[in-house]
């Protein structure tokens, strides 16, 4: 059994970026872990969405079972959106099991708040509260003053890389106080890698300022390695990989063309609900900062044009649509059954699903189709699409050539520690759902009913 374990998340990290950065000597500490231990391509969830993947990490269960497909959750109708939190997790997390015997620390893990454990939790970037740390008594005890969950004060595009370094350093001061406490299991997620990649992915290796951010993260990892010592097992992982998509697939436009979806000009009520939604979003730290981020930092990026277009394009006429995609992030189609307005009767569900899937199979860019049982917040038809990023806009065409930096399913995994084997072969067939059973196994627990497996091939 392991004595101590550190799991560090590098959001959105891919070997396409990590390998050249290591080869060029920018990341000496990560290089050391890779040389001493094992590496592997870690397959992400479908869809490779941050909230979906980090939930699967915590549970060892795939999104079609846990029902988290995005940071937002639909309740009954498309207007009542909520930012997800730990209350939406219906399965037991691996750290709840660990915490029965071991001291756990979780920093910046999406959906870990309100905390389900007695250990130490620092909120994630989707926090809905102003809490800095749990249990709250630690705020005074450790003198935690400045703990930001998101980069504050985005002003200009040129500024963001400098701001990102300041953000990392400021957080580190507070996080170090937690790292220096007594713990057995320590988790910390670095979101900054994903944020930088959304902005600069194809050109990062030519951007010295952007590389600095990866170097800073590597330095922090180096400090952790030194402090924790050789007895500690270290896992480095990402929730998904990253790539440049060449095209957009407007799924709702396709549904409309095939006769399943009706669009409507937005009525005053829709704008009211938009305003209601904006008011709601602006109350939450995460969404507030994200909207600032989108509108101030990315004024020239295609994402912004698509977002703006989605606001201006006609809405989905839910009452008259048999199928729709509420949000491209979920990468799938919902059937308008009793979960929405009951336009499709239970007896017709199967027929309409097989009709739609048969038509989708004709599209050359559809790689895989999964059909799910009717469940709250779970798309009935889940799509894996090659080289096309799905958007919900009811655009004037079904596809468009437009480059977008976005997640893909091939993430990273690095493990190093007393029980971990030393191998230069890069492993394949690792899945993010395997992490929970593997971590629990290393601490002497078993996880039943998981979609993942124990990664036996990483051990000596």
List contacts with Zn ion (CB under 5 A): 11-12, 50, 194, 239
Nearest distance from residue 379's CB to Zn ion, in Å? 19
Phi first, then psi, for residue 370 (nearest 5°) are -115, 135
With tokens 């059954």, the residue in question is 337
Please tell me the distance from the alpha carbon of residue 113 to that of residue 97, in angstroms, as a whole number.
17
> Strand 232-237 and strand 38-43: pairing?
unpaired
Nearest distance from residue 372's CB to Zn ion, in Å? 22
Q: Which residue minimizes CB distance to Zn ion?
A: 50
Q: Which is nearer to Zn ion, 194 or 218 (CB)?
A: 194
Q: Which is nearer to Zn ion, 309 or 384 (CB)?
A: 384
Please tell me the distance from the alpha carbon of residue 50 to that of residue 191, in angstroms, as a whole number.
10
Q: Which is nearer to Zn ion, 37 or 48 (CB)?
A: 48
Q: Which is nearer to Zn ion, 301 or 366 (CB)?
A: 301
Pull the structure tokens for residue 346.
Answer: 């239970």
Please tell me the distance from the alpha carbon of residue 46 to that of residue 62, in angstroms, as a whole number.
8
Nearest distance from residue 167's CB to Zn ion, in Å? 17
Which of 63, 70, 71, 188 lies closest to 452 in space, CA to CA? 63
Nearest distance from residue 325's CB to Zn ion, in Å? 20
Q: Which is nearer to Zn ion, 340 or 406 (CB)?
A: 406
Nearest distance from residue 60's CB to Zn ion, in Å? 18
Nearest distance from residue 169's CB to Zn ion, in Å? 22
Nearest distance from residue 352's CB to Zn ion, in Å? 33
Nearest distance from residue 70's CB to Zn ion, in Å? 12
Question: SS3 string of the chain?
Answer: CCCEEEEEEECCCCHHHHHHHHHCCCCHHHHHHHHHCEEEEEECCCCCCHHHHHHHHHHCCCHHHHCCCCCEEEECEEEEEEECCHHHCCCCCHHHHHHCCCCEEEECCCCCCCCCCCCEEECCCCCCCCCCCECCHHHHHCCCCCCCCCCCCCCCHHHHHHHHHHHHHHHHHHHHHHHCCCCCEEEEEECHHHHHHHHHHHHHHHCHHHHHHHHHHHHHHHHHHHHHCCCEEEEEECCCEEEEEEEEEEHHHHHHHCCCCCEECCCHHHHHHHHHHHHHHHHCHHHHHHHHHHHHHCCCCHHHHHHHHHHHCCEECHHHCCEECCCHHHCEEEECCCCCCCCCCHHHHHHHHHHHHHHHCCCCCEEEEEECCCECCECCEEEEECCEEEECCCCCCCEEEEEEEEEECEEEEEEECCCECCCCCEEEEEEHHHHHHHHHHHCCCCCCCCCCCCCHHHEC
Phi first, then psi, for residue 157 (nearest 5°) are -55, -40
Q: Which is nearer to Zn ion, 191 or 393 (CB)?
A: 191
Nearest distance from residue 338's CB to Zn ion, in Å? 33
Q: Which is nearer to Zn ion, 70 or 434 (CB)?
A: 70
Nearest distance from residue 419's CB to Zn ion, in Å? 28
Q: Which is nearer to Zn ion, 2 or 297 (CB)?
A: 297
Q: Which is nearer to Zn ion, 12 or 332 (CB)?
A: 12
Q: Which is nearer to Zn ion, 174 or 239 (CB)?
A: 239
Q: Which is nearer to Zn ion, 204 or 454 (CB)?
A: 204
Nearest distance from residue 192's CB to Zn ion, in Å? 11
């Amino acid at each position: 059994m392991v004595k101590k374990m550190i799991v560090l998340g590098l959001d959105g990290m891919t070997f396409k970026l990590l390998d050249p950065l290591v080869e060029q000597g920018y990341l000496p500490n990560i290089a050391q872990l890779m040389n001493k231990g094992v590496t592997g391509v870690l397959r992400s969830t479908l869809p490779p969405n941050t909230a979906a993947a980090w939930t699967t990490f915590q549970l060892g269960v795939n999104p079609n079972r846990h029902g988290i497909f995005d940071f937002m959750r639909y309740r009954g109708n498309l207007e009542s959106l909520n930012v997800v939190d730990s209350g939406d997790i219906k399965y037991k997390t691996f750290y709840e099991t660990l915490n029965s015997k071991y001291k756990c620390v979780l920093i910046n893990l999406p959906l870990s708040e309100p905390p389900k454990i007695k250990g130490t939790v620092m909120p994630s970037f989707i926090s809905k509260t102003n809490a800095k740390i749990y249990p709250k008594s630690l705020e005074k005890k450790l003198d935690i003053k400045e703990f930001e969950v998101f980069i504050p004060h985005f002003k200009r595009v040129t500024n963001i890389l400098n701001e990102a370094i300041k953000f990392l350093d400021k957080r580190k001061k507070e996080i170090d106080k937690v790292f220096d406490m007594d713990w057995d299991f320590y988790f910390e997620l670095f979101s900054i890698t994903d944020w930088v990649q959304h902005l600069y992915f194809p050109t990062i290796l030519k951007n010295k300022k952007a590389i600095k951010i990866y170097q800073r993260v590597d330095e922090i990892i180096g400090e952790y390695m030194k402090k924790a010592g050789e007895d500690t097992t270290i896992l480095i992982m990402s929730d998904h990989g990253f790539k440049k998509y060449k095209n957009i697939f407007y799924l709702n436009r396709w549904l409309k063309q095939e006769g399943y979806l009706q669009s409507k000009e937005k009525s005053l009520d829709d704008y009211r609900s938009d305003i209601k939604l904006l008011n709601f979003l602006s109350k939450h730290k995460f969404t507030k900062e994200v909207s600032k981020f989108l509108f101030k930092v990315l004024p020239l990026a295609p994402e912004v044009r698509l977002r703006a277009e989605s606001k201006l394009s006609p809405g989905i006429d839910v009452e008259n649509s048999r199928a729709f995609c509420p949000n491209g992030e979920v990468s799938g189609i919902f059937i308008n059954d009793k979960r929405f307005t009951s336009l499709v009767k239970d007896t017709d569900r199967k027929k309409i699903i097989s009709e739609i899937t048969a038509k989708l199979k004709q599209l050359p860019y559809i790689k895989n189709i999964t059909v799910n049982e009717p469940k709250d917040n779970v798309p009935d038809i889940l799509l894996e699409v090659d080289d096309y990023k799905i958007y919900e806009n009811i655009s004037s065409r079904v596809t468009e050539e437009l480059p977008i930096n976005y997640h893909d399913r091939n993430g990273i995994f690095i493990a190093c520690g007393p029980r971990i084997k030393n191998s230069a072969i890069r492993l394949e067939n690792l899945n993010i759902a395997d992490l929970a059973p593997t971590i629990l196994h290393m601490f002497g627990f078993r996880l039943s009913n998981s979609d993942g497996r124990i990664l036996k091939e990483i051990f000596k």
